[in-house]
Structure 1
């Protein structure tokens, strides 16, 4: 979202995101194993924006289950081992809200967080969830975190049958820092594929988990269930990268740490 004011994505924005998810021109494939493919785009000279795209074929998960798992914030706290803190701030419309998410970065990098405007839309049997960074006066950058900027990030879920779907994740992010090359390589060759596998595993366990945790509560499907306060767009502004701290972590060496078991 490159405009001057915060807007809620319209049908054209969703169509544009879908087209970019499907497009392979200008993307370099960096990983392709066991139904998971990862592409990246080269950094522009002088720019720190990273673009990565992952696609996973799920032969044992329905598009509807995948959509629920990616929405369910309570369940995310259980399966997403990268999450430090995540919560919803408020709703804008029946299919748009604002939320906070912070995550662990590979050591010794500083951890990152974002405030994003998230919107979602079922399109036939397919689903899109996407977000971009905004500013909210009550949630300024934290001293211990680096506030990153999501230029456009999200998921596209395509139904391939009753219990079969394809998930595409695309992220265009400014991490607000000069990252070392090993981080970029690790993201595409290891971190992104592992994240996709974790989503797949989370989907397989979701039905059983949800039956024990407020099974009928799905405000992303039934907006009348939401308990979030309404917030006006006027409380939000576009998060500009240049207004945030930019740190140089390019010389940091990778820390040897025990990896989480999948």
Structure 2
């Protein structure tokens, strides 16, 4: 199935999903962070929505943090590797991301098409999985499928914002129930705190690391090779291998060093 680069209607639909409370069940609400799960979703492919109120971070800074790949390597401690593959349009590209799973589970990776749109006081980023002929599944990872993942950042003042994160991912495996519970109760809130803390430190870091380089804002700075959309196809979950990890035992989560003060230089 050929890929479709998101249009204004897709961004509007994503924003509506972030803001509409209907059909969402709250699972966590503490310290300005709220996590919901979709009522009718299965345990395998669960849709999760998160929100964090950033009282002292402007929306533009959060948007930059989510785009800046070199900086992500500083704060995203779950990430194993990430890189940009190529650009499709001035506001769409293809990239690779791999991340660490809890002990007992095989690590996952994605190839996704990402598109972004600043729109007044709103900043949106959405992605979904695609197949790229030069980036097939790797034997050391389980190739997971992003059915829809994205961010909505809303400006609430000159130095404040609200960040929404919505994701629907097929992890390609029969996961034990504790994994699903841990994602909504522990992993998701921690991920939002990481983004918030990274946003607080970003201006100082960026001043020392190519402060003028922001290709997500200035397309003329984008040096990625062009990708022909016709070489991409939609990554269907049923075309990938399923693995059974339902017997994996739960270990106590290790203390995340990102919760401590880190040197972001």
| Residue equivalent to 1:5 | 2
Which structure 2 residues correspond to residues 219-230 of structure 1 after superposition, within 5 A? 219-230=215-226
After superposition, the C-alpha distances for 1:43-73 in whole angstroms (9 at most, x for unaligned) are 646x721210000000010000000000000
In the alignment, is the contact (CA less than 8 A) between 2:41 and 2:47 conserved in 1?
A: no
| Residue equivalent to 2:112 | 116
Q: Is 1:183 paired with 2:179?
A: yes
In the alignment, is the contact (CA less than 8 A) between 1:69 and 1:75 conserved in 2?
A: yes
Match of 2:128 among 129, 132, 140: 132
Output the CA distance in 2 between the equivalents of 1:168 and 1:257.
25
Output the CA distance in 1 between the equivalents of 2:41 and 2:64.
36
In the alignment, is the contact (CA less than 8 A) between 1:39 and 1:53 conserved in 2?
A: yes
Output the CA distance in 2 between the equivalents of 1:209 and 1:140.
34
**Cα RMSD, aligned residues only:** 1.1
For the residue of structure 1 that corresponds to 2:184, the secondary structure is helix
In the alignment, is the contact (CA less than 8 A) between 1:121 and 1:129 conserved in 2?
A: yes
Q: Is 1:23 paired with 2:47?
A: no
Deviation at 1:24, TM superposition (A): 1.3
Q: Is 1:232 paired with 2:228?
A: yes
How many corresponding residue pairs?
Answer: 258
Q: TM-score, normalised by structure 1?
A: 0.96
Output the CA distance in 2 between the equivalents of 1:131 and 1:209.
26
For the residue of structure 2 that corresponds to 1:171, the secondary structure is strand
In the alignment, is the contact (CA less than 8 A) between 1:43 and 1:49 conserved in 2?
A: no
Q: In 2 relative to 1, CA 257–173 (structure 1 residues): closer, same or farther, beyond 3 Å?
A: closer
Output the CA distance in 2 between the equivalents of 1:19 and 1:165.
18
Q: In 2 relative to 1, CA 195–235 (structure 1 residues): closer, same or farther, beyond 3 Å?
A: same
Tell me whether 217-226 or 105-114 shows the greater mean CA deviation.
105-114
Match of 1:41 among 33, 38, 42: 38
Output the CA distance in 2 between the equivalents of 1:102 and 1:81.
11
Structure 1: which 5+ residue stretches go unaligned? none
Structure 2: which 5+ residue stretches go unaligned? 260-265
Q: Is 1:196 paired with 2:216?
A: no
Match of 2:78 among 76, 79, 82: 82
After superposition, the C-alpha distances for 1:178-224 in whole angstroms (9 at most, x for unaligned) are 11111111111111101101100000100110011010000000000
| Residue equivalent to 1:159 | 155
Deviation at 1:42, TM superposition (A): 4.4
Output the CA distance in 1 between the equivalents of 2:19 and 2:246.
32
Output the CA distance in 2 between the equivalents of 1:102 and 1:30.
26
For the residue of structure 2 that corresponds to 1:28, the secondary structure is strand
For the residue of structure 2 that corresponds to 1:32, the secondary structure is strand
In the alignment, is the contact (CA less than 8 A) between 1:158 and 1:167 conserved in 2?
A: yes
In the alignment, is the contact (CA less than 8 A) between 1:177 and 1:246 conserved in 2?
A: yes
Output the CA distance in 1 between the equivalents of 2:40 and 2:242.
16
